[in-house]
């Protein structure tokens, strides 16, 4: 048995070395693939969409088995994610860590399997809004996970990272003054030391859009890559865009804790297309194309000239209309593709690539819509609209949205239709006490698109999603009890 295990380990190691040498793609642009949507494309269609557009890297927010199975044999480099609420148990129980690696990493890394390169340990766990809830849990989880990867003969191939929000560091005015937040200095020093010793990059999420959205005084041209009439002069360094300034603030912070040469990857960066005055198709195209050109031309930044980030993951691949709108209505509109895999605007995402290609073989529901009944008095419609928009996505109807100017009846019809499509065009879902009616004429108005849902038998409705979530939670409880019983 020992000899068999040794041979298996050698074969796996050889396979991984060959796979890495064949699939390593430098300077490529990756994407974030989130699944908080009630209109979910089949994972196989999404994988084909990425392959068709030569997207060679993808970052996930969990380790969904259906998604990972679809990625098998694709050649796409994958980052799987661990939610923040799992950090505690992974850090306190080596057995649970072993089990997680076995179930979510090792089982997929076989010949013809999934090329998992990174594990994201938490997602922005140091956010100020979490008030330190996860700060002490990150390192213990990483230590256990590293041991688990080593046991699985994956310790030198799969790298652990921690995607951090840019609020983990700060500067009074200039990038060169960058430091980590005082309460994070010790933790960050330990974390970066761990990352450095294991050959992992520092992963940061940078959003110039949010700087513009949150401050009326922020110079609009400074958010983009076309040069600015308000450059930031920092000694010999001059910054013409917010991305470079933010990036070098992190470089300065890393330098101050002794890791100035630490490789940096961009875990999330992008621009939304709807839901705010500054969120539109032209702005999103300008920002993303400028970013891609900046990265692929190896321009670097003033503190790291000629040294671009080691990886860049656009946020995001697809719109997610079930995301929280607490930060703003734009949260549901970050995709370079709409929910159904249709390109929103022309974008060249890699050297030698053409413009974005649309998803193929998308199965839509029948071409019919739910609209306000023109023969009925709509004075009593308020509660119906409130119900519809509490479940379906109506964010485009608000200020800055693409459907903001379609009038009262248009608003009612949009809300009714969004709910109707969410319910898979179930006949009663267009009743609204007789105020709604089904039409076969597309009610879209100008840039305001009235959607038709996707036909998908695999848990795409909200009820199915909740059931799946409860089932996964139950499995974790059972595994946890099993682990406790073996200690």
Of 79, 81, 77, which Cα lies nearest the Cα of 115? 77
pLDDT digits (tens, 9 = 90+) for 411-454: 999 999 999 999 999 999 999 999 999 999 999 999 999 999 99
Strands 300-301 and 304-305: antiparallel
* Percent of the chain scoring above 70 in pLDDT: 87
**CA dist., res. 452 & res. 246, Å (int):** 40
Is 12 inside a domain boundary?
no
pLDDT number for residue 27: 56
Answer whether residue 16 shows pLDDT above 80: no
What is the average pLDDT value for the chain, to the nearest integer? 90
More confident residue, 130 or 474: 130
Only one residue has tokens 């199915």, namely 464
Same domain, 477 and 390: no
Same domain, 440 and 464: no
Is 240 inside a domain boundary?
yes
Which of 124, 320, 321, 331 is catalytic? The answer is 124
Query: Annotated catalytic, 320?
Result: no
Query: What ranges make up the beta strands (E) of 343-445?
Result: 369-372, 436-439
Answer whether residue 473 shows pLDDT above 80: no
Mean pLDDT within 302-319: 97
More confident residue, 2 or 155: 155
Is 339 inside a domain boundary?
no
Same domain, 293 and 388: no
**CA dist., res. 142 & res. 94, Å (int):** 11
pLDDT number for residue 351: 66
Answer whether residue 280 shows pLDDT above 60: yes
Decide: 152 and 144 in contact? Cβ < 8 Å: no
Decide: 405 and 411 in contact? Cβ < 8 Å: no
Decide: 278 and 209 in contact? Cβ < 8 Å: yes
Is 349 inside a domain boundary?
no
Same domain, 229 and 317: yes
Is 229 inside a domain boundary?
yes
Same domain, 251 and 376: no
pLDDT digits (tens, 9 = 90+) for 195-210: 999 999 999 999 999 9
Same domain, 129 and 173: yes
Answer whether residue 28 shows pLDDT above 90: no
What is the H or E stretch that residue 30 is in? strand 29-33
Answer whether residue 229 shows pLDDT above 70: yes
More confident residue, 357 or 12: 357
Number of domains in the chain: 3
Buried b (16+ CB within 10 A) or exposed e, 385-412: beebbeebbbbbbbebbbbbebeeebbb
Is 15 inside a domain boundary?
no
Answer whether residue 173 shows pLDDT above 70: yes
Answer whether residue 115 shows pLDDT above 80: yes
Q: 399 lies in which domain range? A: 369-453
Is 18 inside a domain boundary?
no
Same domain, 51 and 164: yes
* Percent of the chain scoring above 90 in pLDDT: 86
CATH of the domain at 75: 3.20.20.80
Region for 228 from its dihedrals, namely left if φ exceeds 0, alpha if ψ lies in -120 to 50, beta otherwise: beta
Is 353 inside a domain boundary?
no
Query: Annotated catalytic, 268?
Result: yes
More confident residue, 15 or 350: 350
Mean pLDDT within 204-225: 96
Same domain, 446 and 465: no
Which of 52, 183, 268, 320 is catalytic? The answer is 268
Same domain, 238 and 284: yes
Taking residue 66's Cβ as centre, other Cβ atoms within 10 Å add up to 14
pLDDT digits (tens, 9 = 90+) for 149-159: 999 999 999 99
pLDDT number for residue 353: 73
Answer whether residue 13 shows pLDDT above 90: no
């Amino acid at each position: 048995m020992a000899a068999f295990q040794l041979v298996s380990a050698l074969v796996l190691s050889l396979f991984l070395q060959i796979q890495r040498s064949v699939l390593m793609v430098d300077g490529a642009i990756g994407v974030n693939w989130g699944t908080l949507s009630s209109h979910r494309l089949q994972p196989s269609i999404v994988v084909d969409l990425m392959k068709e557009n030569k997207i060679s890297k993808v970052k996930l927010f969990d380790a969904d088995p259906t998604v990972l199975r679809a990625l098998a044999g694709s050649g796409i480099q994958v980052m799987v994610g661990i939610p923040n609420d799992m950090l505690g148990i992974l850090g306190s129980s080596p057995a649970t860590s072993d089990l997680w690696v076995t179930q979510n990493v090792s089982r997929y890394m076989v010949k013809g399997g999934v090329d998992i390169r990174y594990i994201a340990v938490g997602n922005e766990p140091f956010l100020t809004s979490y008030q330190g809830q996860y700060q002490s849990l990150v390192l213990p989880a990483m230590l256990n996970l590293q041991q688990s990867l080593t046991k699985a003969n994956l310790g030198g191939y799969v790298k652990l990272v921690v995607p951090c929000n840019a609020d983990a560091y700060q500067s009074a005015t200039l990038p060169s003054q960058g430091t980590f937040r005082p309460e994070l200095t010790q933790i960050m020093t330990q974390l970066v030391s761990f990352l450095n010793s294991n050959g992992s990059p520092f992963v940061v999420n940078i959003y110039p859009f949010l700087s513009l959205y949150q401050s009326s005084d922020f110079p609009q041209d400074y958010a983009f890559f076309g040069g600015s009439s308000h450059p930031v002069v920092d000694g010999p360094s001059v910054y013409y865009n917010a991305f470079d300034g933010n990036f070098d603030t992190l470089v300065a912070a890393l330098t101050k804790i002794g890791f100035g040469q630490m490789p940096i990857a961009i875990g999330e960066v992008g621009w939304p297309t709807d839901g705010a005055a500054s969120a539109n198709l032209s702005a999103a195209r300008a920002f993303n194309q400028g970013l891609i050109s900046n990265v692929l031309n190896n321009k670097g930044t003033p503190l790291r000239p000629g040294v671009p980030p080691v990886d860049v993951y656009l946020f995001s691949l697809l719109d997610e209309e079930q995301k929280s709108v607490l930060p703003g209505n734009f949260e549901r509109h970050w995709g370079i593709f709409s929910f159904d895999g249709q390109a929103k605007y022309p974008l060249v995402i890699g050297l030698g690539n053409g413009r974005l290609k649309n998803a193929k073989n998308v199965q839509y529901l029948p071409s019919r819509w739910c609209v306000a009944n023109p023969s009925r008095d709509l004075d009593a419609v308020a509660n119906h609209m409130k119900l519809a928009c509490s479940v379906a996505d109506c964010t485009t109807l608000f200020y800055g949205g693409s459907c903001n100017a379609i009038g009262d009846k248009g608003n009612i019809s949009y809300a009714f239709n969004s709910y109707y499509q969410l319910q898979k065009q179930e006949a009663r879902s267009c009743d609204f006490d007789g105020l709604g009616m089904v039409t076969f004429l597309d009610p879209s108005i100008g840039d305001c698109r009235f959607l038709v849902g996707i036909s998908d038998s695999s848990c795409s409705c909200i009820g199915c999603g909740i059931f799946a979530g409860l089932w996964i939670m139950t499995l974790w409880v059972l595994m946890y009890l099993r682990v406790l019983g073996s200690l």
